[in-house]
Amino acid sequence: MIEWFERKIISIDENTDNEIKKETLEDFKIKLRSLTSIELHNVAQNLDFTRLFSQLTSNDSIYNEEVCNNLSTLFSVLEAGEVFKRFPMEMSQFIIHEDPLVKKLVLKELLKTASSENSVTQLINDKNILNLVIEEIGKDDLVVAKIAMDVIKQVGKSPAGVKALYSSPLLTSLARLISKRGVISFRIYDVVVDIAKHSKENLDASATSGFLSSLINILQDDDVLLQLNALEVMAELASTDYGLNYLEERDVLKTLSDKIADANENPLSILLIPGLMRFFGKISKSHIDILSKYPPVIYALFDVINETEDTLLLTNALDTLGHIASTNDGKYALQNLGQFMNNAIHRISQVIKTMPSELKVCGLDCLAMILYVDKTKRDNQIMSLTKSWFDLINNDPLDMIIGYCRQPFHDIKISSYRVLSSISNQTWGHELIASYPGLIELLLARTTDCDKNIKEIRYEIIKNLSEAEDVFDSGNIQKFTTYVHQGPYFVDLETEVATEVPT
C-alpha cells in the first residue's frame, strides 16, 4: 500500500502538466479517505512527505490547497511533534510561504506540537522556528496571526517556554512588534497577559520583561482607543488574584477609579466610561470587594443608568450591572447600597417599556442576570431578595415579561424567555408561573416557536418546573417530565400531520 502512495508522489513531483498533477492529487486524496484509521496511520508513519512538501512552491493557490488537504490528512493521525521532528526544515521553510493556506497548515501543526507536554520541548529548543512564529503574529491575515498567537501562548505555559520567550532573540522580536503600536502591539499584549495569567511565576517573568509596565503606561496615552484596548487586555490579567494584586500594587485600579470620578471635568474620561464600566464589571464578578474599595465606580454606574440617554453608555452600564448582580455576593453588595439598586430597577423597567428595541433587549438581559440564582447557592435569603427586586419592576411584572415573550421580535422574545428562565428555578417563580393563566400551555406548546435558542431556553424552564413537585400538581409534573425526556427539539409528528392543510 505504501508503494502506491510513493508512486503517486513521484508522479506528482516529476510531471510538468499541472492538470495531470491535480488529477493525481485528487486520486491521492480519494485513496487516503478510503483507508481505515489503522491503515492511514501506517501510511502516515512510513511515507516520506518531502516530495509533497516540495509541491508547495507553486503559485497556484488551488493546487496548494489540494496539497495542503492531503498533508493535513496525513498529519492528523500522527502524534503531536512527530511531523516537526521528521521535517523541521520544511516547517521553517513553509511557515513564511506567501499563501496563507500553507502558513495555516504549518502553524496548526506547530500548535499541536506546542499543546502537548511530550513535544513542546522540541519547539522550545528551536529558537529559529519560534522567532518565525512570532513574526507571523504581525502579519495582515488575522487567522494566521491568531494561530501564531495560540502557538506562543501554549509555549508560554511551560517554565522553559517562558524563559525562552523572555530571552534574546525572542524577547527582541516581541518588543519590536509591540513598538508598532495599534493592532499588532495589542496582539502581543494579549499573548503576554495570557502567559502571565497562567501562574504567579509567569506573571513575575512577564513583569520583568517590561511588557506589563508598557501596557499600563498606555493608560496615560492621549489616544482613547488605545486606552480602551489596554483596559480590555488588563481585565483578563485582573481575572486572577495575583494579576489583580499586581495591578493594585501599581495603583492601576485607583487611577481608573479617579478617571471615573473626574469624568465630568475631563472630556477624555467621558469617552472612556464604557470601557471602564466593562473593566470593573468583569473584575467585580469574581472580586466583589472591588466595589467597596473604589466607590466612585458603582456610583458612576448608577448615575449612568438613571440619567443618561446615550445608547452606548446605557448599554454598557446595564451589561456591567448585570455582571455584578449575576452572583449572590454581587446581589448582596448591591442590596447594601440601599435605594441605589431600587432606583436602577425602576429605570430598567422604563428602559424595557419605552426605549428602542436594542435597549429593550439590554434591559431584559440585565434583568435576567439580576434575577438569576445559581441552583447550588439557592436559599430563602437570596430568593427573598430577588423576589423583592422583581416586585419593583411594576404592578404586574410577570404579565409584562410574558407580553414580550409573545411578541414577534426575535431578540426581544429570546431575552424575555431568559427572564422567565431566571425566575423558573426559584420557589416564588414557580408559584407565579403556576398561577398565571395559560402560561404552562404556552411553555409546553412545541409548535409556537421554531427558533433553536428559544427551544433551548424553554427546555431549561420546563426542566426547572419539573423539579417543583410541591407547587405543581401531578398532571403538570408528568407533562414537564415527558417534555424533558423528549428533549428541546422534539417534534410531535401526529400534531404536525394533523395541522397540515390538504392539497
Cα 134 to Cα 116: distance, rounded to the nearest angstrom: 19
Cell of 247: 495591578
> What angle do the packed helices 380-391 and 328-335 form, to 10 degrees?
60
What pLDDT shows up at residue 443?
Answer: 93
HEC string of 72-90 equals HHHHHCCCCCHHHHHCHHH
Low-confidence residues in the chain, pLDDT < 70: 264, 266-269, 492-503
What pLDDT shows up at residue 499?
Answer: 44
Closest Cα to residue 39, out of 71, 5, 14, 12?
5
**Model pTM score:** 0.83
What pLDDT shows up at residue 205?
Answer: 97
Length of the chain: 503
What pLDDT shows up at residue 17?
Answer: 85
Cell of 294: 473604589
Residue whose C-alpha cell reads 431566571 in the numeric block: 422
Closest Cα to residue 212, out of 249, 241, 183, 182?
249
Cell of 442: 404556552
Q: How far is CA 169 from its chain centroid?
A: 32
* Contacts of 304 by beta carbon, 8 Å cutoff, 6+ apart: 273, 277, 313, 314, 316, 317
SS3 395: coil
Cα 308 to Cα 130: distance, rounded to the nearest angstrom: 49
What residue type is assigned to position 68 of the chain? C
What pLDDT shows up at residue 431?
Answer: 96
* 393-432 tens-digit pLDDT: 999 999 999 999 999 899 999 999 999 999 999 999 999 9
Cα 217 to Cα 389: distance, rounded to the nearest angstrom: 41
* DSSP per residue, 291-328: HHH-HHHHHHHHHHHHH---HHHHHHHHHHHHHHHTSH
DSSP 375: G
Closest Cα to residue 402, out of 456, 449, 443, 463?
443
What residue type is assigned to position 431 of the chain? E
